[in-house]
Amino acid sequence: MTEKILYLGAEAEIRLSEYMGKKVVQKQRVHKAYRIKEIDHQLISYRTKEEAKLISAARSHGVSVPLLYDVDLTKGCITMEYLKGNRVKDMLNGLKESERRRICLKIGESIARLHDHDLIHGDLTTSNMIYWNDRIYFIDFGLGSQNIEVEAKGVDLHVLMEAFESTHSKYPRCFEVVLEGYTKHLQGDASGVVEKIKEIVQRGRYR
């Protein structure tokens, strides 16, 4: 099949391709001409490895993510499963209230599983969630990290809160329902994370 560019960003090119007879998505990190060549290669290799590790760790803890087929550290390319579902961003507004609530609870549960194992997604938006086979798949861990701090978990969720406010503003309770699912399933201290989100909101107001 002919390769097709799905997304071209500042840090990576996302393309639809084929690997061992399967339709796949490849994330190819972009080289930066302004960086010293050796440092550029090291950074791309390191970031590719770290993202692949986060995806694997998320899967091992029961979070739905694409299967990894190949990780090429030299080229800075991750080859992964193509998910046939829809972006949550594109479908959430069109759902019935009960179904929207169910999806938001699922999102909260998945984030709780990540945070219980100190996995930070780094770019939690409904653009980076795919709904397929009644599961919420998380994609693009390029800004992710492993971090035990409550601050990092609060920031992770605050990013999602802002995404809901901008993309799904007609349904202001969506984020509350996500937090409901998160609080219900988090084995750690959910109240500390919720308080941290409020603190981050206050910081933004007083800038």
Rounded distance between C-alpha atoms, residue 17 and residue 200, angstroms: 40
Residue 40 catalytic? no
Catalytic residue selected from 72, 123, 140, 156: 123
Rounded distance between C-alpha atoms, residue 139 and residue 7, angstroms: 13
DSSP labels for the chain?
Answer: ---EEEEE-SSEEEEEEEETTEEEEEEEEPP-TTS-HHHHHHHHHHHHHHHHHHHHHHHHTT---PPEEEEETTTTEEEEEPP-SEEHHHHGGGS-HHHHHHHHHHHHHHHHHHHHTTEE-S---GGGEEEETTEEEE---TT-EE---HHHHHHHHHHHHHHHHHHSTT-TTHHHHHHHHHHHH-SS-HHHHHHHHHHHHHHHHT-
Known catalytic residues are 123
